[in-house]
């Protein structure tokens, strides 16, 4: 009985080394993909911040002074594209096959002056004050995802809005 156990153990020697050799590349690929997913999420947050700031700056610069909140539509569209292009310029290395100016040119800009109105970019939502909204489609390289058989480029659709409030009377 004891001899049979020893013989069985001898036949299994080295099997743990085999498991390590076989599973190590899979484990390393999993860690690399998790790291790449985190980096992609961070890039998305940076791009979202650039789009958000563009909407706020454009709405503020296109706001008309006066008792009620109003937006100069032509100025809002021009400033939003200009500011978006300048905000995306430092992130140009993330973009895939396009330039910040092209992304800004192709962005959807909606200026809502008559409220309440349906939100043009969020289905079912209602805009209750004059608002400038941006919807931007940005192609982003995914790096290691291509090695795992996933698409090498992902298009992120980011939406930002900036609403105007009426000035409080004193």
Percent helix / strand / coil, the chain, rounded to 5: 55, 20, 25
**CB count in 10 Å sphere of residue 2:** 6
Question: What pLDDT digit, counting tens, does each position of 39-69 carry?
Answer: 999 999 999 999 999 999 999 988 875 556 6
Per-residue pLDDT reduced to its tens digit, 22-31: 899 989 988 9
**Among 42, 69, 40, 25, CA closest to 153:** 40
Backbone dihedral angles phi then psi of residue 131, each to the nearest 5 degrees: -145, 145
Secondary structure (3-state) at 107: coil
Tens of pLDDT along 102-116?
999 999 999 998 889
pLDDT at 95 over 70: yes
Domain ranges for the chain: 2-163
Q: What percent of the chain has pLDDT over 70?
A: 85
In terms of Cα–Cα distance, which of 164, 114, 104 is closest to 137?
104
Q: How far apart are CA 87 and CA 84, in angstroms?
A: 5
Distance between terminal CA atoms of the chain?
97
């Amino acid at each position: 009985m004891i001899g049979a156990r020893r013989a069985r153990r001898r036949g299994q020697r080295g099997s743990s080394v085999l498991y390590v050799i076989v599973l190590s590349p899979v484990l390393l690929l999993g860690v690399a993909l998790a790291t790449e997913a985190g980096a992609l999420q961070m890039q998305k947050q940076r791009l979202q911040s650039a789009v958000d700031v563009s909407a706020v700056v454009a709405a503020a610069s296109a706001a008309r002074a006066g008792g009620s909140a109003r937006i100069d539509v032509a100025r809002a569209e021009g400033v939003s594209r200009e500011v978006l292009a300048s905000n995306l310029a430092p992130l140009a290395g993330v973009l895939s096959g396009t330039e910040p100016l092209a992304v800004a040119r192709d962005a959807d800009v909606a200026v809502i002056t008559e409220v309440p109105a349906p939100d043009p970019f969020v289905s079912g939502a209602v805009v209750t004050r004059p608002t400038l909204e941006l919807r931007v489609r940005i192609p982003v390289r995914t790096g290691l995802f291509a090695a795992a058989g996933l698409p090498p480029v992902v298009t992120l659709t980011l939406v930002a809005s900036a609403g105007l409030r009426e000035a409080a009377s004193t």
